[in-house]
Structure 1
Amino acid sequence: MPRIAVIIGSTRDTRFAEKPAQWIADFAKSRGDMEVELVDIKDFDLPFFNEAASNLWMPSSDPNAVRWQNRIGEFDGYIFVTSEYNRSIPASLKNALDQAYKEWMKKPAAIVAYGGVGGAFAADHLRTIAIELQMVPVRGAVHIGGGEFMKVHPMGENKPMSEIEPVLTPGATAMLDSLLWWANLTKKGREEDLVKEAA
């Protein structure tokens, strides 16, 4: 089965991201057709990107950046969980994306976004970044906004994610179906590339 990382994109002390991240990880695991792990950017203490170049061109020097690269390189696809800050993604997520390149390439990316308009602007921006990093962003996404957002956010009713799961399930299912299809296809393609390189 393909290995999928659910990447928690916010590092704020008061972040909400862990709640939807754990929900989508559990939801994806329950399918039984992919291995799913939570990966928290906060655990890596990444500096602001300060390398001479992307690791596509030369090895990174910062040990935490290298540790991050090694960790995300283990996976065949990604689910990014992102908030929306001023019509874009958090700086912590952008920096984490910039800290690697080779590890993202030729792998699918799905998005769970949240905010006043369901994180739609952040999701669109994230798709553009993913394309530049040679990922394959899937069309479907999970958007948590409006009344559903306030039901589960601590500044609202702070109810469990199960309270809004019926609303999220159709979109999450379609997103994961697409992610799985692309993960299997791109995994096979990367394996074929390795064989060609070794020949």
Structure 2
Amino acid sequence: MAHRILVFYGSYRSDRMGIRLASFVVEGLRARGEDVEFIDAKEVGLPMLDRMYKEYPNGAAPTALEKLAGQIREADGFVFITGEYNWGIQPGLKNLTDHFLEEWFWRPAAIASYSAGRFSGVRAATAWHGTLSEMGMVVISSTIGAGPIAQTLSEDGKPIGEGGKALERAFPRFADDLMWWVEAAKEQRARKKPPY
């Protein structure tokens, strides 16, 4: 049975390198038979956070927020594709996630990071771990990283070079870890109502 996984990407740059990693992850999960939807923060185009989804009267939220809230609620798990900006997280992706809170609860999240340098966005991944945990998600321990991304993935998201080989070797464990938690959380939510 396929699980509903949302893959989030948050770069607003004109030359977006991280889209390569997003393509790699989406294709990899789909190849395993999962029901994957790609959510591009730039395409969704939410304004800078003024009011969270839950702060709108019922039925009065902007269409993009209403749609995304439903997608998040219906998902079994999430993957966040994050670039590293000055040792931190991307503002576009953070802005998108901050529009929601309870919608994220009781589901697992995985982090895939990238950078132009050799550290593969690990500092952004570390920052995201605490943020996603605070937002009610169980963040899996397995991560993957691509860096330097231009030497790890081709423009169409295919592994290249030694970095690409390493990414291919790491992906199955990353996906297995996410799916184990997806199944565990799904089963527990069906068995017992979350405490809040």
TM > 0.5 fold call: yes
Aligned residue number for residue 4 of structure 1: 5
Q: CA RMSD for the aligned pairs?
A: 2.6
- Confirm or deny: 8 A CA contact 2:108 2:181 kept in the other structure: yes
Query: Is 1:163 equivalent to 2:160 in the alignment?
Result: yes
- Give SS of 1:138's match: strand
- Give SS of 2:189's match: helix
- Give SS of 2:103's match: coil
Deviation at 1:124, TM superposition (A): 0.7
Aligned residue number for residue 72 of structure 1: 72
Please report the TM-score for the alignment, with normalisation by the length of structure 1: 0.84
* 2:50 counterpart letter in structure 1: N
How many percent of aligned residue pairs carry the same amino acid? Answer: 27
- Confirm or deny: 8 A CA contact 2:5 2:78 kept in the other structure: yes
Matches within 5 A, 1:130-141: 130-141=132-143
- Confirm or deny: 8 A CA contact 1:79 1:112 kept in the other structure: yes
Q: Relative to 1, partners in 2 of residues 1:195 and 1:163: Cα closer, same or farther, differing over 3 Å?
A: closer
Aligned residue number for residue 185 of structure 1: 184
Q: Relative to 1, partners in 2 of residues 1:84 and 1:56: Cα closer, same or farther, differing over 3 Å?
A: same
Q: Relative to 1, partners in 2 of residues 1:187 and 1:141: Cα closer, same or farther, differing over 3 Å?
A: same
Q: Relative to 1, partners in 2 of residues 1:151 and 1:102: Cα closer, same or farther, differing over 3 Å?
A: same
Deviation at 1:132, TM superposition (A): 0.3
Aligned residue number for residue 43 of structure 2: 43
Matches within 5 A, 1:1-199: 1-32=2-33, 34-51=34-51, 55=54, 61-115=61-115, 116=117, 117-146=119-148, 149-152=149-152, 161-164=158-161, 165-194=164-193
Deviation at 1:196, TM superposition (A): 9.8
C-alpha distance in 2 between matches for 1:191 and 1:114: 35
- Give SS of 2:87's match: coil
- Confirm or deny: 8 A CA contact 1:108 1:179 kept in the other structure: yes
C-alpha distance in 1 between matches for 2:183 and 2:6: 15
Deviation at 1:131, TM superposition (A): 0.5
- Give SS of 1:177's match: helix
CA offsets per residue over residues 46-86 of structure 1, 9 Å max, x none? 011111x6628975744332222122222110111111001
Q: Relative to 1, partners in 2 of residues 1:56 and 1:108: Cα closer, same or farther, differing over 3 Å?
A: farther
- Structure 2 unaligned segments of length 5 or more: list them: none
Q: Relative to 1, partners in 2 of residues 1:105 and 1:84: Cα closer, same or farther, differing over 3 Å?
A: same
Deviation at 1:36, TM superposition (A): 1.6
- Structure 1 unaligned segments of length 5 or more: list them: none
CA offsets per residue over residues 131-176 of structure 1, 9 Å max, x none? 0011011111111124xx23257xxx86862314321022211111
